[in-house]
Structure 1
Amino acid sequence: MRLQKYIAHCGVTSRRKAEELIKEGRVKVNKEVVKDMGVVINPHKDIVCIDNKSIQLEENKIYIMLNKPEGYITTLSDEFNRSTVADLTKDIHERIYPVGRLDYDTSGLLIMTNDGDLSYRLTHPKHEIKKTYMAKVKGVLNNKELNLFQKGIDIGGYVTAPASIKVLKGEKDYSIVEVIIHEGKNRQIRKMFEKINHPVTRLQRIAVGKIKLDPLQKGKWRHLTKKEIEYLKSC
């Protein structure tokens, strides 16, 4: 098994993040630092350590939906002592990690798991999993701005893929809109609205593919159903 895949299967982090750990020289195999992405290990014989702590395969796969509140970062730890999504899932004994991310000031549906293969599938660009958001933005959008948003916007060295946007409510000084994208660039939706001069004042993710956010209270989680898990694995 490739080293980065083994790390993901151990429930430490996603396969992509595992590759970063390897590049940073934080991974050892049998007490030797490894920085080669092509290394293959024997899960039953080799000893793998991250930051000098040994890791082992997670046998029990966990899949949950979390309603992330604003004010939490989508990591398992933080050097600045900010609240993380791990603080909200302390009652889960297995080590799980977030699939993708939600910004510090964005709330809503976050999938967490220790299934490295599923995480890789859901975050890889080629699968183009759609994410649906509800946003409150300043001002009222006109047709020109909506068309620009739908075609793709340069958000600073990167032109976004075509997006879906629907105005649900338009008042004098704000609008409520539904946005569907399949990318996951850092603060992408906020940057897109800033480019058309309608800053976001509130943002919530309400769906990942066909998985919709339950009426969970913010900060609460539930296990995904068997049907939901099967759907995500088929994406």
Structure 2
Amino acid sequence: MPRLKNHKSLPPPGRRIQLVRVFTKAAVASRTQARQYILDGRVTVNGVVVNHILHWVDVDRDDIRFDGQSIKPIEQKTYIVVHKPAGYITTRSDSENRPTVYDLLPAFETWLFPVGRLDMDSEGLLLLTNDGALGNWLKEPEHNISKRYKVLLDRPMLEKHRKQLEQGIFLKIFTTKPCRIRRIGPDPEGYWMSIILSEGKNRQVRRMMEAVGYTVIRLIRTHIGPLALNELPAGQWRALSSREVEELQEMRRDFMKNRPPQDAILIHLRGRTKSV
């Protein structure tokens, strides 16, 4: 079978996307899995094997096949939230066979990716969607999407430490943005605090608390922007209401209206998913 030469083509006008994205939009595989399938020579475009992960395709005209089976993107957007329990990881699969959040979900018709992550020991609100534009925008730290957490500490937090954390604290290679912290109350297991961040770097909440001498016993994310965990039981999921989706879309539209055009491209090029 003939092979296309490796090349990095630019997307001309029209409904063209990178080949790896066809897999996620068709609910066939994650981007990581799709890259490997392409490198393994299992993907053809119009009868020709494509072995370059940056190849662009026309989803309306091109015949795209994986192991001989035709694949087409699913256009309907899906938005759900899940209450992630402790002990689950935020990935599709795991080489160590640990439980993942996808074990809690039914088989959706489309691939849903997590908008941000929670580490294995953390709990709470996790948003998943197949809407790449909105999901990538929500993950960008510079967009200041608020995230609220309930944090159970091993001892009461001193006022000087609370003020220090609110003003921003240096964590090895970066300084955290200002945040809001308040006391909730004691618990038989420790002392609860509420913290609102506008960023979400890798294990940031835990690292912030450790930096001033506290141990995090439990960490629960309760809000992402206008989305709230409320009474959703641990291990359960629900679809977002049309009003919730519109609120998120409106936030993005308002931001884009005031964003310099040359910077808008970065929304799709930056922003790695982190755990807190």
Band of TM-score, shorter chain: 0.7 to 0.9
- Distance between the aligned counterparts of 1:164 and 1:52, measured in 2? 54
The 5-angstrom pairing of residues 137-148 of structure 1 reads 137-148=153-164
Distance 1:147 1:138, change over 3 A: same
Pairwise CA distance, 1:34: 2.3
Task: Provide the residue aligned with 1:34 in structure 2.
Answer: 52
Output one character per residue of 1:80-130: Cα deviation in whole Å (capped at 9) or x when no partner: 111011100025343322111111111111111111122112112232211
Task: Provide the residue aligned with 1:44 in structure 2.
Answer: 60
Task: Compute the TM-score of the two structures, normalised by the length of structure 2.
Answer: 0.72
Matched, 1:86 2:91: no
- Distance between the aligned counterparts of 2:175 and 2:66, measured in 1? 36
Q: Among residues 163, 168, 182, which one is paired with 2:198 in the alignment?
A: 182
Query: Which of these two proteins has the greater Rg computed from alpha carbons?
Result: 2
- Distance between the aligned counterparts of 1:184 and 1:53, measured in 2? 39
Pairwise CA distance, 1:66: 0.6
After the TM superposition, which of the residue ranges 96-105 and 148-157 deviates more from structure 2? Answer: 148-157
The 5-angstrom pairing of residues 3-42 of structure 1 reads 3=18, 9-10=25-26, 18=31, 26=39, 30=45, 31-36=49-54, 40-42=56-58
After the TM superposition, which of the residue ranges 22-31 and 131-140 deviates more from structure 2? Answer: 22-31
Pairwise CA distance, 1:141: 1.3
Return 5+ residue gaps in structure 1 as ranges. none
Task: Provide the residue aligned with 1:127 in structure 2.
Answer: 143
Runs of 4+ in 1 over 6 A off after TM superposition: 49-54
Pairwise CA distance, 1:204: 0.3
Task: Compute the TM-score of the two structures, normalised by the length of structure 1.
Answer: 0.84
Task: Provide the residue aligned with 2:118 in structure 1.
Answer: 102
Return 5+ residue gaps in structure 2 as ranges. 1-15, 252-276
- Distance between the aligned counterparts of 1:154 and 1:52, measured in 2? 53
The aligned length equals 230
Task: Provide the residue aligned with 1:222 in structure 2.
Answer: 238
Pairwise CA distance, 1:29: 6.6
8 Å Cα contact 1:207/1:213 also seen in 2: yes
- Distance between the aligned counterparts of 1:207 and 1:42, measured in 2? 38
Task: Provide the residue aligned with 2:271 in structure 1.
Answer: none
In structure 2, the residue corresponding to 1:33 is in which secondary structure? coil
What one-letter code is carried by the residue in structure 2 that aligns with 1:211? L
Pairwise CA distance, 1:6: 5.1
- Distance between the aligned counterparts of 1:22 and 1:44, measured in 2? 21
> What RMSD in Å do the two structures reach over aligned CA positions?
3.0
Output one character per residue of 1:21-53: Cα deviation in whole Å (capped at 9) or x when no partner: 7699759673222254xx543112335578998
